[in-house]
C-alpha cells in the first residue's frame, strides 16, 4: 500500500490561463483531466494525482485537495501556493 501525502493547493488564475480550449494552459484543465475518467486508459505503470475536493472561493481562485502517492513530492509551478500540508 502506498503512503499518501495530502496537500491543499490554492490556485489563482492569471488572465492567460483562464480560457479553456485555445489557451496552452488552462487553470482548471488538470482537475478535469484527472477527474473525468479521460486518463483511465493510462497503463497501470503510470499514475496521476487524485483530486479529493475543490472549492471555488472566487471567479479567479479555487482551493483543492490532492493526494499524491509519493511523500515529499511537489511541483515548482509558480502559480501554486501551498496553504497547508
Partner 1 sequence: MQGTYLAGAPLPASDWLSRDPLTHWTADADVALKKLVDYRDHPIVQRIYPAEVIDTTRQLCKERPLFLEGRHRLPQTLCHQDVFRRNLFAQDDYTLAIDWEMMGIGAAGEDMAGLVSANLALREVDPTQGDALDKVVFSGYMDGLRDIGWQGDADLVRFGLVWFGWVGLYGCLRIAVRAMSD
User: Does 22 contact partner 1 by CB under 8 A?
Assistant: yes
Choosing from 4, 14, 20, 82, the residue that interacts with partner 1 (CB under 8 A) is 20
Task: Find cell 496537500 and name the residue.
Answer: 7
Distance in Å, CB of 55 to partner 1, minimum: 19
User: Does 75 contact partner 1 by CB under 8 A?
Assistant: yes
Q: Are strands 5-12 and 50-58 parallel, antiparallel or unpaired?
A: unpaired
Distance CA 8, CA 83 (A): 6
Please state the φ and ψ torsions of residue 28, each to the nearest 5 degrees.
Answer: -105, 10
Which of positions 33-72 make contact with partner 1 (CB under 8 A)? 33-34, 36, 38-39, 41-49, 68-70
Amino acid at each position: 500500500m502506498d503512503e499518501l501525502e495530502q496537500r491543499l493547493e490554492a490556485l489563482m488564475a492569471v488572465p492567460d490561463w483562464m480560457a479553456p480550449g485555445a489557451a496552452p494552459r488552462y487553470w482548471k484543465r488538470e482537475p478535469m483531466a484527472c477527474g473525468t475518467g479521460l486518463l483511465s486508459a493510462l497503463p497501470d505503470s503510470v499514475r496521476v494525482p487524485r483530486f479529493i475536493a475543490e472549492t471555488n472561493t472566487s471567479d479567479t481562485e479555487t482551493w483543492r485537495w490532492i493526494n499524491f502517492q509519493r511523500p515529499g513530492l511537489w511541483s515548482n509551478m509558480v502559480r501554486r501556493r501551498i496553504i497547508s500540508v
